[in-house]
Structure 1
């Protein structure tokens, strides 16, 4: 791969790209996109009016979640993340302007589609630096322990998603079903992929120069993100690969769970059992599972029986 990039004359470009500084433009783009994601969460506007401190703390988790999680995993104090005053001020400025700017002027400007695509592309560039930073920090302590390198790199690049439940608690929301590990988003998946690649490269199992891997991985991130935003697609680019791997390795097919549930529900109904009981409790007469009103013919027959009984008496 290195020879291919050298033949294309991209080797020097990759070296220059790897020396690119994220401060201040790319970092600011990351803060803006992160706080915009928070602002678009249900109830975030109300929280910003009712409790600005909680809203600010949630914004800091969105901006520095990866650094917080990786610090915990490395045994470092999480509060050290807030030691960089300039980055905290930049993130706080983005939070204030997006939530409290008069007439939502700053938010409306950032929400312009083309401008937001540009900011999202710049944010994806910072993802590469975060993943590589996490892998490098883990390598200093754990050397060739690949699982540790992958975990720290993944946490550094996608920590905000991984600690989303804690961030929701700050806003007074508890939704355990939204756990990122239960249903991973595209950002979490692509960050995991990057953590694996950089860990293999750092430990020498992937024969490619670091600056070339940074360049190609970033190009993949930016192109994929921009394409998804421009086309409005919500389908993960890894959907086909995941489907194949699930079939080959796990023997699963997409939608197996839903099909199994629907079939079991149909079987319960046909056997005369309540679907809610999962077939363990037999259904009572119609009043239990599906109460129905008595028909007029039934009422007439009952009245005639009562009258005949009176005559007999």
Structure 2
């Protein structure tokens, strides 16, 4: 306790929790989100052929979590679009990423050191969205624990959950990339974070909300930056999940998370779509650009 008092950890956490996200952190969130959209196969061609469809996809990448959470809570799904400053900022990022002369903006934000900073800032926004979703649901449903968890989960990973709908706007249909079937690290972390914030809202977790936001943000930033730097799509929860699934569901303790007894090759099938969303798609784009040169 004396150490915590010397470090003023509580005051630092309160200051961090009250720190404004707009425009700096939200800008980083939009840049990284639309950057991942450009990694998707065919997204550049869609932007050239149909800028309206590309813009709608970009808006889903930036605001899909708000739209999905509003639908769940019975709020108008386009209510968030009255924030003109956010829409204009996201639109400017979309235009620069896809249509900047000589692709300069994309090259700058895709440069790994810059990208790592932007990814870290995006995770700060993600944690705030999870906490805000749980808090909003708590006010509407005081004892609705599942509603609180689901709302926080959707606020943190709504973009990934709506990925199949976004693919349809681009004329692509890949049901095997369903995020429920192949949960990526941000999706899993959003679910676990929603559970923690729901417990905190119900006063079952002896931690202040500001401190929980600070600690969970630190975990998300370190994990995501490390994974992005190594181009890894593993999960820090993998070992724990394997043991839990073995104890509760009788799943075999193997190195693959999605092992099924009735398919000998099943582990390799669901893992690959997760990589193609960011890593493999980026690699495909790089190979195409080298051939063009």
Q: Provide TM-score, normalisation by structure 1.
A: 0.80
Q: CA deviation at 1:8?
A: 4.4
* 2:139 aligned partner: 140
Q: CA deviation at 1:4?
A: 7.1
Q: CA deviation at 1:92?
A: 0.1
Please state whether the residue corresponding to 2:60 is helix, strand or coil.
helix
User: Is residue 180 of structure 1 aligned with residue 182 of structure 2?
Assistant: no
Show CA shifts across 1:164-212 (max 9, x none).
Answer: 1111111111111111101101110001111000000001111111111
For 1:4 and 1:132, how far apart are their aligned partners in 2?
27
CA 1:257–1:135 in 2, change beyond 3 Å: closer, same or farther?
Answer: closer
* 2:192 aligned partner: 193
User: Is residue 22 of structure 1 aligned with residue 21 of structure 2?
Assistant: yes
Give yes or no for contact 2:184–2:233 (8 Å, CA) kept in 1.
no
* 2:58 aligned partner: 59
CA 1:191–1:144 in 2, change beyond 3 Å: closer, same or farther?
Answer: same
* 1:268 aligned partner: none
* 2:226 aligned partner: 227
Please state whether the residue corresponding to 1:22 is helix, strand or coil.
coil
CA 1:43–1:191 in 2, change beyond 3 Å: closer, same or farther?
Answer: same
Q: CA deviation at 1:261?
A: 2.9
Show CA shifts across 1:9-35 (max 9, x none).
Answer: 311111111111001000000000000
For 1:27 and 1:121, how far apart are their aligned partners in 2?
12
* 2:8 aligned partner: 9
For 1:20 and 1:172, how far apart are their aligned partners in 2?
40
CA 1:237–1:3 in 2, change beyond 3 Å: closer, same or farther?
Answer: farther
For 1:205 and 1:44, how far apart are their aligned partners in 2?
45
Task: Please tell me the root mean square deviation across aligned C-alpha atoms, in Å.
Answer: 1.7
For 1:261 and 1:3, how far apart are their aligned partners in 2?
56
For 1:232 and 1:5, how far apart are their aligned partners in 2?
35
Structure 2: give runs of 5+ residues left out of the alignment. Answer: 266-293
For 1:32 and 1:186, how far apart are their aligned partners in 2?
19
* 1:34 aligned partner: 33
Please state whether the residue corresponding to 2:263 is helix, strand or coil.
helix
Task: Report 1 or 2 for greater relative contact order, CA contacts < 8 Å, sequence distance ≥ 6.
Answer: 2
* 2:68 aligned partner: 69
Aligned residues: 262
For 2:75 and 2:262, how far apart are their aligned partners in 1?
46
For 2:53 and 2:244, how far apart are their aligned partners in 1?
41
